[in-house]
A and B are shown apart, each in its own frame.
Chain A
Amino acid sequence: MRMSKIVRTSADLLYPFILIFGLYVVLHGHLTPGGGFQGGAVIATSVVLVIVAWSYEDILAMLRKVVYKAQESAGLILFIGTGAAALLIGFPFFYNFLANSGLLFGMPAPPGPNPGELNTAGVIPVMNIAVGIEVWGGLAIIVLCMLSSLARERT
């Protein structure tokens, strides 16, 4: 059961813009309101929009469940791995070992109120990205699974 051509075209047009906005919310989680959970939910909205506009058979040709399953697991593994990486270097679990180190995301933040620098905050952006990937895949796979049972009952 597809929606009309107008809805399908609008969904296809809006998809990249919602994706970009969600990625912005995830990547700027340590500077602006938002973060991994919120940005991941925004990105999942774009997937759900496409799913609602097209029929289940069309969706299976466009998106694959395996990709989202792998994405969800990869997000959680990256999150736990970032926390456990501090153990290998000799810090406590979940220690922010990248902050103020000069490496990736390692610039010190300017003191006081300021617009912020993207290359700061250590492991926080890494964890934001991990959680964003996980929420993106998780919410998309929930909607896809529920839709598959609906499509099965109709036939």
Chain B
Amino acid sequence: MKRTISALVLLVIGIALLAIPVLLTFGSPLMSDMDDYFIAHGQAETAANNIVTSVVFDFRGFDTLGESVVLFTAVVGVGLMFRTLRAGEEYEDE
């Protein structure tokens, strides 16, 4: 019974995954309004020749802020894990 159910679930998941590339054509409908705007106006508006950088740091600057905060949080976590002990403090071995 258990094996039949898991086989069925696997079959359904497999069909669903296969149906995506078969039934849907890639890149349609074409949503390129934003891209066209960035390519057409990016150089004039941000005065940066590198469109990728102008998207990352200007048009989507908020995204990059999140990225930097993630890095900061990671470093804070590592610093907490490997902190130097105060005088008289011992590690707990369990």
Interface residues of A (CB under 8 A from B): 29-33, 35-37, 69, 72-73, 75-76, 79-80, 83, 93-94, 96, 99-100, 106-109, 111, 114, 116, 120-124, 127-128, 131, 134-135, 138, 141-142, 145-146, 148-149
Given A99-B47, A128-B53: A72 and B72 within 8 A (CB)?
yes
Instruction: Chain A residues near B50: list those with CB within 8 A.
Output: 29-33, 35
B64's contact among A131, A142, A148, by CB below 8 Å, is which?
Answer: A131
A142's contact among B45, B46, B49, B78, by CB below 8 Å, is which?
Answer: B78
User: Please, which residue of chain A has its CB at the minimum distance from the CB of B80?
Assistant: A145
7 A-B residue pairs with CB within 8 Å: A32-B50, A33-B52, A35-B50, A123-B58, A134-B68, A148-B82, A148-B84
Asked if B47 and A121 sit within 8 Å, CB to CB, the answer is: yes
Instruction: Chain A residues near B78: list those with CB within 8 A.
Output: 141-142, 145-146
B82's contact among A69, A80, A93, A145, by CB below 8 Å, is which?
Answer: A145
B87 within 8 A of A: no
Asked if B54 and A111 sit within 8 Å, CB to CB, the answer is: no
A122's contact among B43, B44, B47, B65, by CB below 8 Å, is which?
Answer: B47
Asked if A114 and B61 sit within 8 Å, CB to CB, the answer is: no
Instruction: Chain A residues near B58: list those with CB within 8 A.
Output: 94, 96, 122-124
Asked if B44 and A109 sit within 8 Å, CB to CB, the answer is: yes
B49-72 interface code vs A (CB 8 A; 1 in, 0 out) = 110111011100110110111011
B11 within 8 A of A: no
In whole angstroms, how far apart are the Cα atoms of A131 and B49 in the complex? 19
Interface of B is mostly: helix
Asked if B45 and A99 sit within 8 Å, CB to CB, the answer is: yes
In whole angstroms, how far apart are the Cα atoms of A96 and B44 in the complex? 12
Which of B43, B44, B69 has the largest count of A CB atoms less than 10 A from its CB?
A: B43
Distance in Å: Cβ of B48 to nearest Cβ of chain A: 4
Instruction: Chain B residues near A148: list those with CB within 8 A.
Output: 82, 84
Instruction: Chain B residues near A142: list those with CB within 8 A.
Output: 74-75, 78
Asked if B61 and A83 sit within 8 Å, CB to CB, the answer is: yes
Distance in Å: Cβ of B71 to nearest Cβ of chain A: 5
Instruction: Chain B residues near A141: list those with CB within 8 A.
Output: 75, 78-79
Instruction: Chain A residues near B64: list those with CB within 8 A.
Output: 79, 127, 131
User: Please, which residue of chain B has its CB at the minimum distance from the CB of A146?
Assistant: B82
Top 10 closest A-B pairs, CB basis?
A121-B48, A94-B61, A145-B82, A30-B48, A109-B47, A116-B49, A138-B75, A120-B47, A99-B47, A124-B57
